[in-house]
């Protein structure tokens, strides 16, 4: 946000239900941070945004945990010229399910990310060069432990809830396990206690698209450069897994792209779905780092609560929070049975847990899209 935007903030009130203009902030820890892999860095930075106000008892905070391709900017605008709001703007704001009149909503870019938090793009103080693939291997638990240090440092004494979908849901589960006394409620959505072989396979194909791109250069590429083609292909393929056959058929079908004249070759864009995927790939490479993509997908693959604890029920023994797990019928990336397994294990472990399965044909990304039924579920659970 620049000075002119700040000057305009007072004279441009937020629209009803909107958080309006927001500015990212940075928290920097000068204390060493030890990763699960055994390596330590001398400190780290977490970039974050907040919406609403922290109450006097510092316990009305709701942490939003982002998915693989997300970041800290989940609501509002950064400037008056922005064309898009944050990625979960439909659920965050005054009077919305994550009601900023009532709650202090926060979201951070995960450690290992590429939107301001410490990750492969950051400078290694020992070499003065970007970490690249010399960055420590990151786990979901590492992401949560870095968040916990940040939240305590900025004055949050307890989370009213942790909420998130997909990889965000994994972080939510980890919050309940690693810091049971710090969080009251858990809302994991469209997630899993461990990925299946198919999800791991999709991640590996995406990684190989990056690793086989000559511009990857063993991870030692300059800022603004790197394996742009490989990263775009990885994004195109991953994006397919976030949708469903029905939603793609409705949105694109077999409609072709209007063009003047003949195709230059047989492999020019012919179908609207091809054009859409190429657009997704091109836009992604302008905001994401290839090495971060490698690290974060590996963190997803290695997340396995049952293996870590011996069983899923044992993994959930520390949990004290109430949990609402939400699944979507058309999600074939992390299907309903994987979400039900979370609730079943929680109940077997004697925890307070409930389950909701929403009928939709929008696929894995259903938790991001407009859904009054989802909003009501979340709002009622948070207020209960």
Find the catalytic residue in 122, 364, 365, 371: 364
For the question of residue 122 being annotated catalytic, the response is no
Instruction: Find out whether 68 and 158 touch, Cβ atoms under 8 Å.
Output: no
Instruction: Find out whether 326 and 187 touch, Cβ atoms under 8 Å.
Output: yes
Burial class of 299 by CB neighbour count within 10 A (0 to 12, 13 to 18, 19+): buried
How many angstroms separate the Cα of 273 from the Cα of each of 69, 238, 250, 285? Answer: 20, 14, 11, 19
Find the catalytic residue in 142, 322, 331, 365: 331
For residue 349, give the nearest of 324, 310, 316 by alpha carbon: 316
Find the catalytic residue in 69, 117, 122, 166: 166
| C-alpha dihedral (63, 64, 68, 73), degrees to nearest 10 | -110
For the question of residue 331 being annotated catalytic, the response is yes
Residue identified by tokens 């690693």 is 178
For the question of residue 59 being annotated catalytic, the response is no
CA-CA distance, 238 to 350, in Å (whole number)? 36
> At how many degrees (to 10) do helices 290-302 and 140-153 cross?
110
Alpha carbon distance, N-terminus to C-terminus of the chain:
37
Residues recognised as catalytic: 166, 331, 364
């Amino acid at each position: 946000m620049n000075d002119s935007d700040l000057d305009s903030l007072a004279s441009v009130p937020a629209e009803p239900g909107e958080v309006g203009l927001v500015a990212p902030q940075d928290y920097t820890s000068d204390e060493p941070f030890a990763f699960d892999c055994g390596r330590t860095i001398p400190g780290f930075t977490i970039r974050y945004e907040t919406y609403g106000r922290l109450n006097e008892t510092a316990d009305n905070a709701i942490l939003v945990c982002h998915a693989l391709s997300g970041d800290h900017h989940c609501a509002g605008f950064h400037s008056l010229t922005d064309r898009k709001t944050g990625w979960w703007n439909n659920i965050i704001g005054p009077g919305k399910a994550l009601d900023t009149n009532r709650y202090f909503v926060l979201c951070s870019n995960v450690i290992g990310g590429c939107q301001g938090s410490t990750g492969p793009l950051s400078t290694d103080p020992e070499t003065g060069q970007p970490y690249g693939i010399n960055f420590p291997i990151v786990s979901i638990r590492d992401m949560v432990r870095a968040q916990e240090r940040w939240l305590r440092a900025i004055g949050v004494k307890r989370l009213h809830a942790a909420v998130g979908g997909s990889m965000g849901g994994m972080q939510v589960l980890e919050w309940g396990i690693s810091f049971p006394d710090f969080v009251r409620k858990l809302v994991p959505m469209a997630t899993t206690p461990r990925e299946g072989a198919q999800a791991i396979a999709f991640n590996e194909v995406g990684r190989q698209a990056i690793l086989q791109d000559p511009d990857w250069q063993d991870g030692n590429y300059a800022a603004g450069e790197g394996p742009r083609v490989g990263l775009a292909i990885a994004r195109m393929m991953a994006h397919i897994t976030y949708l469903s056959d029905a939603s793609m058929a409705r949105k694109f079908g077999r409609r072709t792209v209007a063009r003047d004249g003949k195709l230059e070759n047989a492999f020019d864009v012919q179908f609207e779905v091809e054009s859409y995927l190429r657009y997704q790939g091109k836009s992604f490479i302008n905001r994401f780092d290839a090495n971060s993509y490698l690290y974060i997908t590996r963190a997803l693959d290695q997340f396995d609560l049952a293996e870590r604890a011996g069983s899923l029920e044992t993994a959930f023994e520390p949990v004290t929070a109430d949990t609402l797990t939400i699944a979507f019928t058309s999600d074939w990336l992390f299907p309903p049975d994987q979400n039900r397994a979370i609730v079943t294990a929680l109940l077997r472990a004697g925890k307070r847990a409930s389950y909701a399965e929403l009928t939709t044909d929008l696929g894995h990304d259903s938790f991001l899209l407009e859904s009054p039924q989802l909003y009501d579920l979340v709002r009622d659970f948070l207020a209960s």
